Structure 1
């Protein structure tokens, strides 16, 4: 696609002229510490997205999920997010080693509002609180400890526009299956039938293995 004819926004003043100014309430809604409502939201959230950026500006957004309350609140300015077994790429972790700034977006299924937590992260391989992060006998090998700098809520407009939580709008078969994607892009030499079995009902049987 040729983007040469796009009209680009190139500075903050132009951006503000286009979008307008935030209300005084919205401009001032960031807080540096967790309120009791934030603690309750985090305790109820089984999922968040962790955004990071490397020293070169390359970005990563990684999903994190576990039973509700998987993020441990250590105090009003500190939280810990456990790592669980995955693909071992560790893109976000490499970013944190180079650039500690992170953003986390917490979701509660069925709710439109989300909680944003921004701060500075450290990778911790062990600490006394790791026992409290154990799930189904799995004690994490690593946790991301975030020193909070800003906390605030996002409104539900994006969820309302997308109808994300309305089951009648769901169509999981609209895109190729995970098995077909893997066959085309990642595991070309493996039979599709084998991949469909691999990504089938038994796929979640070892979520906390090594």
Structure 2
């Protein structure tokens, strides 16, 4: 198998970008992008660090991020598994990307920017939910933002069917690595977690 090793070889395979794919890029949160992001309850946060890259799903029962101004997004870090891979990366290298999705919409909105973490109570208490606060808040300065063409979601039929039947559970994934792991108890705990202890 031959691999592409330089830009000239790569670019020779593709046509020039469609003009709209360049025009759509903005360096701030415009009114229309604001409307779209405020409708998004889910995004993927991508970060990079000395150990490599990390893609982390982030979700909330309302907007997944808060818009502070036309250049700044605020993403609370709610309770998780405490691996904090993304947070470690951000402390060492602030470059991040976000991919926002809205169920039913064929578009995706992408943000590239730089991030910092804060545990300042003046910030974390702003996100109080059911008496709990995030341990940290990720502040993201938007450098570029654009929507992604709908073709990938349309090809996948992403919102048109449920393909989850028969898939392994979280507990089964762990049990595959550790045979004596109690997958059923672990999965039952997840079910309880989803009933109201998500924060």
In the alignment, structure 1 residue 151 sits paired with structure 2 residue 145 = yes
**CA-to-partner distance for each residue in 1:114-152, whole Å, 9 max, x for gaps?**
111111100011253434322222221201001110011
Structure 1 contact 126–141 (Cα < 8 Å) conserved: no
- Closer/same/farther in 2, CA of residues 144 and 183 from structure 1, 3 Å limit: same
In the alignment, structure 1 residue 104 sits paired with structure 2 residue 86 = no
In the alignment, structure 1 residue 190 sits paired with structure 2 residue 181 = yes
Structure 1 contact 122–145 (Cα < 8 Å) conserved: yes
Partner SS state of residue 137, structure 1: coil
Q: Which one of the candidate residues 26, 36, 39 is aligned to 1:41?
A: 36
Residue aligning to 2:82:
88
Please, which runs of 5 or more residues in structure 1 have no aligned partner? 1-5
Residue aligning to 1:204:
194
Residue aligning to 2:158:
164
Residue aligning to 2:107:
113
Structure 2 contact 174–181 (Cα < 8 Å) conserved: no
- Closer/same/farther in 2, CA of residues 30 and 198 from structure 1, 3 Å limit: same
Count of paired positions: 198
Q: Distance in 2 between matches of 1:36 and 1:192?
A: 46
Q: Which one of the candidate residues 47, 71, 76 is aligned to 1:52?
A: 47
Please report the RMSD computed on the Cα atoms of aligned residues, expressed in angstroms.
Answer: 1.7
Residue aligning to 1:138:
132
Please, which runs of 5 or more residues in structure 2 have no aligned partner? none
Q: Which one of the candidate residues 64, 75, 79 is aligned to 1:70?
A: 64
- Closer/same/farther in 2, CA of residues 161 and 126 from structure 1, 3 Å limit: same
Structure 1 contact 50–61 (Cα < 8 Å) conserved: yes
Residue aligning to 1:7:
2
- Closer/same/farther in 2, CA of residues 112 and 99 from structure 1, 3 Å limit: same
TM-score (norm 2): 0.91
Structure 1 contact 183–195 (Cα < 8 Å) conserved: no
Partner SS state of residue 120, structure 2: coil
Structure 1 contact 47–106 (Cα < 8 Å) conserved: yes
